[in-house]
């Protein structure tokens, strides 16, 4: 019962926490660029304004796809904090991403179509590293269950340092940050044409933004698994990781899609797979 309560609290609080992190992100980015920047609550003002605008869609399929994207993004975090098998959770998140891609493909805009193709490529780039991380968690905690990993008492960061570095490397993909923001940029100043969200307007764009807030909290929850052996410090370290991603976002330029794909797969092999070798050597012995 307590686990279901955690899942319900995620559904209620995640949009507020995600929007707040978004506002802090914008403020930090502005300060790094010697600007005052918008107020921290600006993301909420933006979404409220979008909801009030007229909703213009390119075809009848766009809204159902975006609604499905939002529902599955929220459902992913609910399952995660409710304590479901994290292998299932990753598959549900992938379904959410597919609905976003389909929403962009449903448009006739070449920019939206190109953004959808790049989003599909990004999915191919980060999924192998995530699956390797799941195998690593299973090898250490002997379970895919979220609370079994958290309560194992084992410092995942010490057992899986290479996998953590791999996850840190690909984290910018799901957070929509440089150098991996090739399908659409999280910050408006980085993109004249918004790629996958080019044809999203009004309530459609607002739902997409709220889905991103849900994803942000879930992703940080996934990062927290590496520090869960020390709960309070683990939360602080997770926020430090997020801050480092903001710094990287401001000091790196966008990569070409070929470099994104090659670099993520190379990192997956050298940091991910090589980190797993000792577990299989021990098993053989």
Neighbours of 85 (CB within 10 A): 15
Identify the pLDDT of residue 55.
Answer: 74
Query: Nearest Cα to 272, choosing from 176, 134, 129?
Result: 129
pLDDT (average), residues 155-163: 94
Residue 162 · residue 274 · CB < 8 Å: yes
B/e letters for 3-26, b = 16+ CB within 10 Å, e = fewer, are eeeebeebeeebbeebbebbbbbb
pLDDT at position 283 over 70 = no
pLDDT at position 188 over 60 = no
Identify the pLDDT of residue 265.
Answer: 94
Task: Give the whole-number percent of the chain exceeding pLDDT 90.
Answer: 58
- On the 0-12 / 13-18 / 19+ scale of CB atoms within 10 A, 276 is middle
Query: Nearest Cα to 192, choosing from 202, 203, 184?
Result: 184
Cα–Cα distance measured from residue 198 to residue 115, given in angstroms and rounded to the nearest whole number: 9
pLDDT (average), residues 11-31: 94
pLDDT (average), residues 151-168: 93
- Residue whose structure tokens are 């899942």: 7
Name the band, by pLDDT with cuts 50, 70 and 90, for residue 1.
low
Cα–Cα distance measured from residue 187 to residue 264, given in angstroms and rounded to the nearest whole number: 22
Neighbours of 209 (CB within 10 A): 21
Identify the pLDDT of residue 144.
Answer: 87
Question: What are 241-279's pLDDT values in tens digits?
Answer: 999 999 999 888 888 889 999 999 999 999 999 999 888
pLDDT (average), residues 14-21: 96
pLDDT (average), residues 181-197: 67
User: What mean pLDDT value characterizes the chain?
Assistant: 89
Which position has the higher pLDDT, 194 or 89? 89
DSSP states of 46-102:
HHHHHHHS----SSTTHHHHHHHHHHHHHHHHHHHHHT-BHHHHHHHHHHHHHHHHH
pLDDT at position 138 over 90 = yes
Name the band, by pLDDT with cuts 50, 70 and 90, for residue 187.
low
Within the chain, where are the H helices? Answer: 2-32, 42-52, 62-82, 86-105, 110-141, 146-150, 156-159, 161-174, 202-224, 231-251, 257-267, 274-284
* CA 185 to mean position of chain CA atoms: 13
Question: What are 52-79's pLDDT values in tens digits?
Answer: 987 777 778 888 999 999 999 999 999 9
DSSP 195: G
Question: What are 81-136's pLDDT values in tens digits?
Answer: 988 888 889 999 999 999 999 998 888 788 888 889 899 999 999 999 999 999 99
Cα–Cα distance measured from residue 112 to residue 118, given in angstroms and rounded to the nearest whole number: 10
pLDDT (average), residues 13-42: 92
């Amino acid at each position: 019962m307590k686990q279901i309560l955690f899942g319900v609290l995620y559904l209620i609080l995640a949009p507020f926490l995600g929007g707040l992190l978004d506002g802090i992100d914008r403020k930090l980015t502005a300060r790094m660029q010697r600007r005052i920047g918008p107020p921290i609550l600006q993301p909420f003002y933006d979404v409220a304004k979008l909801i009030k605008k007229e909703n213009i869609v390119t075809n009848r399929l766009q809204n159902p796809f975006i609604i499905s994207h939002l529902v599955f993004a929220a459902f992913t975090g609910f399952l995660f904090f409710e304590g479901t098998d994290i292998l299932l959770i990753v598959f549900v998140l992938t379904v959410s991403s597919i609905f976003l891609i389909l929403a962009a493909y449903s448009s006739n805009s070449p920019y939206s179509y190109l953004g959808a193709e790049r989003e599909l490529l990004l999915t191919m780039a980060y999924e192998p590293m995530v699956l390797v991380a799941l195998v690593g968690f299973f090898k250490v905690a002997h379970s895919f269950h979220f609370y079994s990993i958290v309560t194992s008492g084992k410092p995942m960061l010490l057992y899986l340092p290479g996998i953590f570095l791999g996850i840190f490397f690909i984290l910018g993909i799901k957070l929509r940050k440089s150098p991996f923001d090739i399908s659409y940029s999280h910050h408006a100043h980085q993109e004249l044409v918004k790629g996958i969200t080019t044809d999203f307007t009004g309530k459609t764009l607002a739902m997409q933004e709220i889905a991103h807030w849900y994803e942000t909290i879930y992703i940080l929850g996934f990062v927290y698994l590496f520090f869960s052996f020390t709960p309070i410090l683990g939360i602080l370290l997770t926020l430090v990781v997020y801050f480092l991603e903001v710094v990287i976002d401001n000091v790196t330029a966008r990569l070409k899609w070929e470099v994104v794909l090659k670099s993520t797969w190379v990192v997956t092999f050298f940091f991910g797979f090589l980190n797993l070798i000792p577990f299989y050597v021990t098993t053989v012995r």
